[in-house]
Amino acid sequence: MDFRKDTLLSLPFKLIEVFFRNLSSSRLTVLLTSAFTLFSIFFLFAQEADVQAGKKLFNANCASCHKLNKKAVGPALKGVSAKYDREWLYSWIKNSSAMIKDGDPQAIAVWEEYNKVAMNAFPMLSNADIDNILAYSDYTPPAPVAVASNQQPASSSGTSNDLILVALTLVFIILVVMLFLVQKTLKRIAFASGVDISPTVKEKRPPLWQVVAKNHFLIFLLVVGFLLSSAYFVYGFLMQVGIDQGYMPVQPIHYSHKIHAGANQIECKYCHSSARVSKHSGIPSLNVCMNCHKNIAEYNGEEDIENGYTKEFYTKEIKKLYDAVGWDEDNQAYTGNIKPVKWVRIHNLPDFVYFNHAQHVQVGDIECQTCHGPVEEMEVMYQYSSLTMGWCINCHRETNVKVKDNEYYAKIHEELSKKYGVEKLTVAQMGGLECGKCHY
């Protein structure tokens, strides 16, 4: 299903939502508890192998192939220190291929188990470093203390609106019933005490509509007013036909630009690489996703529980990717069983418009956000700009052509700027308003 969300309408609700979210104490609690745990961990293990240092080293050197609890490219690291001799581990980590060459039986066994892919050598790690890493891999964090209490306010705030609504409705119904009863009682009392409650007949004045109907000038004004206002609305309606600003379709995989471009700061053109050279920005092929997601099998970032964007939710979406690209997580291998993803196209220019991404992004050095909006904040991607011709033209009128260090412009810029008597040329002055530049 696709739907177009009216951003204007939803804006006030969103504001309220954000306000409430900030008020809730849940985040603060999380922060406090985590600070506390970290502190206690630090305190407990400071003397022995340093878990924190180990975590750092692990993330820097090992995480691309190993996970703690799960098999990745290499084996899960939890418990390796118990499984193997410490000295063996030192030499294995420092240079495993040498051991395989030397014919160490244990080393060969591991090598064969993992498709004969030798582990990278890490000669720069000292024995102490390795100890730290192993300490981190063996470390089990104490169960979070305040998790249970965290859940409460979050869930109650979700239902409170409904409850209030139901309660209010009830109160209104009761009020109506009460009013009715009071009136009935009063009527009965009036009847009993002999008070005449029938309304007094006033002198008949002509009704308002008759007065208006007789005043021709007023009618004229009203008709003109009516026509003008309806024309305004009709015009407004017609002008938005075919404009899909705010179009936010549901995609087959919930891909969050907020997480990728926002939280992880991935450069837009890393995935949309063809924007640099081609007219299309290109929807990245799934092998591009797998560059990172080969190792990132589960989501461990921030959650947005109110909207249901939990860690499990995101992890499930990553599994959808694996399913599409045919990645067998357990064996860390491609099955070849692919299901291409049918994304819903958001930005649809009509056929008769030629738009070139490279021209804008690479030659013009325009930020993607200029047209696509704050993508790094978009949980669900939507069409930010109207993409109308007026919108294009406006930008062409206002934007200066980036001519620096581009030899193509050297001559034409010099000549044109002399002709127009300006320092910098806008796209329009370069001929960017000509029909045939975009329509052919």
Partner 1 sequence: MSSKKVYWKSVAQLDKGNELVKKLEQNEFIDQIPVDDFLGDEHTMSQSKTNRRDFLKYVGFSTAAASLASCEGPVIKSVPYVVQPEQIIPGIANYYATAIADGFDFRSILIKTREGRPIKVENNKDASILGDANARVHASVLSMYDIKRLQVPKAKGQDITWSDFYSQVGAKIKAMAVSEKPIVLITQTFASPTTQNIIEKFIAQFPNVSHVVYDTLSSSHALDAFENVYGVRALADYDFSKAETIVSIGADLLGDWQGGGYDSNYAKRRVPKEQNGKSEMSYHIQFESNMTLSGANADNRIPTDPDSQKKIIAQIYSQLTGRTSSLSELNPQLKKVVDNSVLRLKKSKSKAVIVSGIDDVAVQEVVLAINEYLGSDAMDTAQPKFIRQGSKKAVNQLIDDMQKGKVKGLITAGVNPSFTLPNSEIFNTAYSKLEFSLAFALKEDETATAAQFVAATPHYLESWGDYQFKKGHYALAQPTIRPLFDTQQFQDVLLKLSGSTNTYYNEIKSNWTEKNILKENSWNKTLHDGCFSTGDVIESNGVSFDLGHQIKTLSKASSGDMSLVLYPKTGMGDGQQANNPWLQEFPDPISRVSWDNYLTVSAIDAKRIGLKNVNVSDGALNGSYANVTVAGKSIVAPVLIQPGQAKGTVGMAFGYGQRRGLQEEMQVGVNAFPFYNDFNSVQEVKITPADGYHEFACVQLHNTLMGRGDIIKETTLEIFNTKDKEYWNPIPKVSKNHMEYEVTSPEVDMWQSFDRSVGHHFNLSIDLNSCTGCGACVIACHAENNVPVVGKQEIRKSRDMHWLRIDRYYSSGESFGDDNQTKEDISGLGDSLTTFGEMEKASENPQVAFQPVMCQHCNHAPCETVCPVAATSHGRQGQNHMAYNRCIGTRYCANNCPYKVRRFNWFLYNKNDEFDYHMNNDLGRMVLNPDVVVRSRGVMEKCSMCIQMTQKAILDAKLEGRQIKDGDFKCACSDACSSGAMVFGDVNDKSSIVSGLKEDERMYHLLESVGTKPNVMYQTKVRNTDETLK
Q: In the complex, which residues of this chain contact partner 1 (CB under 8 A)?
A: 2, 241-242, 244, 249, 274, 277-280, 282-288, 324-326, 338, 340-345, 348, 350-352, 354, 356, 358-359, 362-363, 405-412, 415-416, 419, 431, 434-437, 439-440
Q: Report the nearest approach of partner 1 to the CB of residue 227 (Å).
A: 19
User: Of 187 and 419, which CB lies nearer to partner 1 in the complex structure?
Assistant: 419
Nearest approach in angstroms of CB 411 to partner 1 is 7
Residue 334 DSSP class: E
Query: What is the torsional sign of CA 251, 252, 258, 260?
Result: negative
d(CA 246, CA 392): 17
49 vs 261 by CB, closer to partner 1: 261
In the bound state with partner 1, the residue whose beta carbon lies nearer, of 173 and 283, is 283
Which residues have CB under 8 Å from 139's CB, separation 6+?
45, 51, 54
The nearer residue to partner 1, 134 or 324, going by C-beta atoms, is: 324
Non-local CB neighbours of 142 within 8 Å, separated by 6+ positions: 37, 40, 41
Q: How far is the CB of 358 from partner 1 (least distance, A)?
A: 6
Kindly state the smallest distance separating residue 437's Cβ from partner 1, in Å: 7
CA count, 13 A, side-chain hemisphere, 404: 5
Alpha carbon of 371 to those of 298, 317, 387, 391, 400: distances in Å? 32, 27, 8, 10, 16
> 211 CB contacts (<8 Å, ≥6 apart)?
none
Residues near 137 by beta carbon (within 8 Å), at least 6 away in sequence: 54, 58, 68, 77, 78, 79, 80, 81
Q: Given the complex with partner 1, which of 83 and 342 has the nearer CB atom?
A: 342
Residue among 73 and 321 whose Cβ is closer to partner 1: 321
Q: Which is nearer to partner 1, 53 or 363 (CB)?
A: 363
Q: How far is the CB of 396 from partner 1 (least distance, A)?
A: 14
Minimum Å gap between C-beta 403 and partner 1 is: 10
Q: Measured between alpha carbons, how far is 311 from 300 in angstroms, rounded to an integer?
A: 6
CB of 333 to partner 1, least distance (A): 14
Taken as a whole, the chain contains a residue count of 440
